Structure formats: structure tokens, C-alpha cells
Structure 1
Amino acid sequence: MKLMQILLSQSEAGAETYFEKVAAAFAKDDVIEQRLIIEAQPSREVRLHQAEVDFRTLPMGRITKPLFYNQRLKREVDEFDPDLILTWVNRASRKCPSTSAVVVGRLGGYYDITNYRKCDHLIVNTPDLVRHVTRHDWPQHDVSMISNFGELLESLDVPESLPSIPDGHRVLLSLGRLHEKKAQDVLIRALPDIPQATLLIAGDGELKSSLVDLAASLGVADRVHLLGLRKDVRALFALADICVFPSRFEPLGNVVLEAWATGTPIVAAASQGPSWLIEDGCNGLLFDVDNVIQCAAQVNRLLADGQFAERLVEQGRRTFSQEFSMEVIIGRYKALFKDLIAKQACGRTV
């Protein structure tokens, strides 16, 4: 099977990070001949080289982009001649050239379905996103629900120095871009009621200065480390006692899957994705969106009861291995791809 994946984005957000994980996973599969098309971006190129992923880049220069971008995209698709193209994020789905390949769009959010008119099939990663696309007149038989896998691949790691933790402190880890939707402010507001704890926030964004100011105003600036964008997430999880995911709006929540995969207790706000994934008190703990008091209480509950925390971890591992492991999810992708390619070939024969 010849698989082409296209990502036309400069962002380092969740969808782009997961794209790299899927590409690295398929690169290990002897049955798949894979090639990526990405926009030129040095940091992403370094990671993909490191993971031994075959890719081609599109020019992003002030002059070269308007002159050659679309032409190069079309040429790369034609030369590779894939059986199936998987497009990531709106732009790739809109700009996918005409092709004889099956075109599958992958959605991880509540995007405008008109961006996917060139696609033959859609993959979404939650049941609610199935409802979203079908409510917008996408045929039910042309959408598949395949969620994400949680493993953090060593081949994509970029090691960095880790912050020092005061003696006797427990470590809280939060991951996500610094955006109002991610609600890091809720966690910082909860920190005064979580004694002897250091908070690590991995992510970058426009709210950095306001979060720094908030921590200072609450007297917890010395216990909050804003680490910026990190690609050493495995090391951060290894340092963490609890992962806290306070997002106000979250279609899925890769962080929950990564916590399960790494054996880290998870506390999350009950937004769309986490409340679908987590059975409260079984494989994690939930608190109401924006509820600072509940957030602090759930974190303190785990810090005070190690045995309870370990039970959550064990059940999280079980959920992960049955439903959200790389083996399970990549297997579902491959089965779907084979079926779609076979159906298209059958249609051509008829």
C-alpha cells in the first residue's frame, strides 16, 4: 500500500504533533510505503528525519511560495502516485490536488465541513465528531471513528534540560498551548490550595505574560514553571506525580491518553473529550469546567491517597491497552485504508 500524508501547517499544536506520531508509526510498518508532504519547517524536519520518515517539503519563502507552492504539491502527488492520501487539518484537505487516489480527511475538531469536499471519506476521533459531520450532511457511510493512540515515541523526542524541583514537593504537569480554551488560569488559581506542589506548564502562546502575572498575584510564582513549547514530553511525564488537564473546550484530549500510556494519574476538567474518555473515580478524576475549588480538591485527593492513585493508574493502563494503544489504532487505520482502496478498485472494475 502506498500511503501519502499531507500536512500544510506551520503550527506545533495538537493535530500537528499527532500527525508526526502517526507518520513515525507508519514508518515502522513494512507493509506501508509512506511519503509525507509538509511545508518547509526546520524543527519538524529534524524530528521526522530522526524518526526515519520519508517526506518532501513545499517552499515557504516570500517569493518561492507564491510561485512554486501549488505546482510542487501537485508534482509530488503525481510522482509518488499513492493508493490513498490522508489529509490533515483544513488547508491540506482544501488544497489536495486532483488524483486517482482515495482521499481521506482526518478531523480532530469541529471544523467547517466545506473544507473537506475533495475527500472521499472522513476519519474523526470521537463519537461527537461523527455527529458533527453527519449533522452537516456528510454521509454516515463515509465517516469512520478512529481515536488517537497515547504512546510518546522516543524517535520524536528532543531532549531539553528539566527544571529543578524543591525537596518535598510533588510535581503537577499540564500540557497545552497557552490559550483561553486550555484554562491554565484555573490550575494556577487552584495552586494556593495545593501545598508543597510545583506546577510545570509545557506549551507556548499568547497568554504567557498574563499567566505569569496571575501566578505572581496569587503568591505562587516560585511554584509555577512555564516551560514553553517542549518536545521532551516523555521526560516531563516521568517527572510528574499527577497530570492535570483543565481545558474548557477539548474535542478529545491527547493528554489523557498520554497520561494513561505513561502510568500517570490524570485529573481533568469535564469538557467534551475528557468526559468521554474518563470514567470518574475509575481511570481518572474529573472536575467541573472552571471550578477552581473542585480542581484543587481532586488533585489533593490523589496526593493524599497513593493507593487510590495507583488504582486509577492501573485502570487507565487497561483502558489504554484495550482501546488507545498504537497497535490498536494503527491497526484500525490500516484496515480502513485497505477496505477503501479495495472498494475504489472494485468500482473502477465495474
Structure 2
Amino acid sequence: MTMLLQTMAGSPFGGAEEFFVRLACGFERVGIEQHCVVRPNEGRNAVLAASGVSFDELPFGGRLDVRTPWNLRKQLKRHKPRIVLSWMNRASRMTPSGDFVKVARLGGYYKLKNFRDCDHLIGNTRNICDYLIGEGWPVDRTHYLPNFVDAKPGAAISRAEFNTPDDAPLILGLGRLHDNKGFDTLIRAMAEVPGTYLWIAGAGDLKDDLLKLAGECGVADRVRLLGWRRDVANLFATCDVFCASSRHEPLGNMVIEAWAHGKPVVAQASQGPVQLITPGESGLLSKLEDVSALAADLRAVLDDRVLSDTLSRNGRAAFEADFTEDVVVAKYKAFFDEVAL
């Protein structure tokens, strides 16, 4: 009997998908017996394999995909897990119930219809847990378990790689090129933060729109879209300040990552950053959609070394207290011990 079986039907890129890999590898390091069923993804699955995580691949397709549910039943019969942990909507919907404890992990404010047959729900923020309870999910079956990030230090890359002067203040943004990430607001703010350069690492459908906007704002010569990158630690080692510009962000893994790498954080006041950041101590929060306020906060951090160092130091302390791998994996292990059949 396997202790844990995980099902993940993730997108090619995304924060939840990256955290799944970190968590599965963290479970492996502490000896939690597990098997994972995932979509094909060369990059992520290579990391699982390198860490010794046992996994199989299934398509997790649309409504007409009968192969995945059939094979999931075979996986469950083979491994006989005590706990099944499904990730988000599709995997939870396609994973059948059975003689095990079914748990779903939510990183957003999803509709509960896909999780009705679950025994327990995990929210990675307290606000998500409050939302679940407000939607009628039982309090005693709702659990807050936060994310952790990889804190391994990176090495600064050559700014010349992206035609950026060595002495120019450098702002970093991370995430899918999607409207929720607010990169349009950040690019507009760049017009009010002269002399600085902006690197945005991420892929998505808005690339051309964002490049066009940078031209309209007169900042195209200072904005670089890097595409999807796996060397996030190196990017943090290179930048001067991290900007979490999202207008919709349930958690904000990126904030925790910046803290872990000792970088000051400026963020729009979306859901996740508001829960994480103590304004003026572990970061700065600007009013949503206020371009000038975001620009002013960026200038404040870049112009005031004492403020920058204070935000970096306090952010790192917040990371070490609540968001390290050791802390979070121990919380998951205690949860499994509590609910396992």
C-alpha cells in the first residue's frame, strides 16, 4: 500500500505546477512513500525523475477523454493509496473516489462542484480557506497549508545578455503574460521611473500587446520580455527590486521567492500580497491600478538603500519563519498522519 498518490493536470507553465514539483521532491527527501500521475511535461517531469519521484503520465484531456479516468482507476488499484491528493479542478474532477482519503489542494477561489466528493480541502492561503467555509465546506475538513519556494542562491547573469547597462537599476517581474498579472500597469509605471530597466520573465498570449504598450509609453528601450525561464534564482540574483504587479493573485509565490532570495518587494495590493506583506516592513503595497502609486513605491525602494535593506531583511525573516521546505513539508506530513486511513 502506498501512502500517497498525487494527480496533477497542470498547464505547461504556472506557479501551482512548479510548486507541485517542489512539494513532490520535498516529500521524496523526507521519505514519504508516493506515486504521482501527471501530464507529459519534459521540463517538470525531468525534475521529478532526477529526484527519484515515481510517476506515470496521462493526458488529462477534455470531457471526451476516457483514457485518463480509466487509467487512474488502474493506478489506484495498483498502488492502493491511503491518501489521494489532487491538484485543482481537472485532476480533482477526473480522480475517482475510493477506499482512500481524497484530498484536493486549491490555490484559487474555485467552484466547489469539482470537489464535492473530497474528504478534505487544502487552501494555500487563509483567505482561500475562509472562502471555502463561506461556500459551505465544513470547517473541520478545511486546512491551511502554505507553499514553500526554492531558496537555493542563484548566480547573477550578465545584463549584457538582455542589452541592459550594468549600472542601471533593474526591476524584475515574473509570471504568465496574462491580464491577471498586471504587467500593463507595471509597464505604464516605468514611464515614471526614469533610468530603470524592466525584465519580465514569462510566456503567454499578451507578448505582442505588452511590447506595443511599451512603445506607446516610450519605454520600449528599457523593457525586456525574457520568455519562460527556469533560472529564477539567477534572475533574482541579478535584479535590484522585485515587483509583484498582479491585479488578481490568490497567493503570490513570487513574493515568497523574492523574500527567499533577499530582494525588496513592491506589489499591487491584490489578494495574495495583501495577506503576505506587512507594508513598510516586508514590502510596499500600492493601490490596485494606480500607476503613479506603483511608480512612487518603486522609486522609493530604488532611491533609499536603508528602506531597501529593511524590506529585504524582514522579508527573508518572514520566509524563514513560515515558508521554508522543512516547515511546509512537516505541516503536510502532520496533516497526512492526521487524516490517513
TM-score range, shorter chain: over 0.9
Q: Which residue in 1 is equivalent to 2:11?
A: 10
- For 1:58, the equivalent position in structure 2 comes to 58
Structure 2 residue identity aligned to 1:219: G
Deviation at 1:58, TM superposition (A): 1.2
Name 1:191's counterpart in structure 2. 190
The change in CA–CA distance for 1:150 and 1:105 in structure 2 (over 3 A counts) is: same
- Give 1:39's aligned residue: 39
Distance 1:188 1:59, change over 3 A: closer
Q: TM-score, normalised by structure 1?
A: 0.90
Cα separation, partners in 2 of 1:143 and 1:61, compared to 1, 3 Å: closer
Q: Are 1:94 and 1:117, in contact at CA under 8 Å, matched by a contact in 2?
A: no
Structure 2 regions of 5+ residues with no counterpart?
154-159
Q: Is the 8 A contact 1:242 1:264 kept in 2?
A: yes
Rounded to whole Å, the distance in 2 between the matches of 1:164 and 1:35 is 44
Alignment of 1:90-129 (within 5 A): 90-129=89-128
1:207-259: per-residue Cα shift (whole Å, max 9, x none)? 11110001111221121111111111111111111000111111111011001
Summarize the Cα distance change of 1:2–1:60 in structure 2 as closer, same or farther, 3 Å threshold: closer
Specify the code of the residue in structure 2 equivalent to 1:69. T
Structure 1 residues 52 and 311, CA, compared in 2 at 3 Å: closer, same or farther?
A: same
1:28 aligns with 2:29: yes
> Which range moves more in the overlay, 263-272 or 215-224?
215-224
Unaligned residue ranges in structure 1 (runs of 5+): 155-160, 345-350
> Residues 152 and 233 of structure 1 are in contact (CA less than 8 Å); yes or no, is this contact kept in structure 2?
no
The CA distance in 2 between the partners of 1:137 and 1:39, in whole Å, is: 31
Q: Distance in 2 between matches of 1:5 and 1:80?
A: 11
- The alpha-carbon deviation at position 306 of structure 1 amounts to 1.1
| Secondary structure in structure 1 of the residue aligned to 2:191 | helix
Aligned-pair Cα RMSD in Å? 1.9
| Aligned residues with identical type, % of pairs | 40
Sort the Cα spacing of 1:60 and 1:137 in 2 relative to 1 into closer, same or farther, 3 A. Answer: closer
Evaluate the alpha carbon distance shift between residue 66 and residue 94 of structure 1 in structure 2; reply closer, same or farther with a 3 A threshold. closer
> What is the TM-score normalised by the length of structure 2?
0.93
SS in 1 for 2:113: helix
TM-fit CA distance, 1:85: 1.1
Question: Would you say 1:247 and 2:255 are equivalent positions?
Answer: no
1:181 counterpart SS class: helix
What's the CA shift string for 1:158-183, capped at 9, x where partnerless? xxx95342132111100111111111
User: Paired residue for 2:149?
Assistant: 150
Q: Paired residue for 1:269?
A: 268
SS state at 1:193 partner: coil
CA distance in 2: counterparts of 1:36 and 1:98, whole angstroms: 16
Structure 1's consecutive aligned runs of 4 or more residues displaced over 4 angstroms after TM superposition are: 59-62
2-side partners of 1:200 and 1:41: how far apart?
Answer: 26
In structure 2, what residue type is equivalent to 1:36? C
Aligned residue runs from structure 1 range 158-177, under 5 A: 163-177=162-176
The structure-2 alpha-carbon separation of the partners of 1:162 and 1:122, relative to structure 1 and needing over 3 Å to count, comes to farther
CA distance in 1, matches of 2:61, 2:303: 54
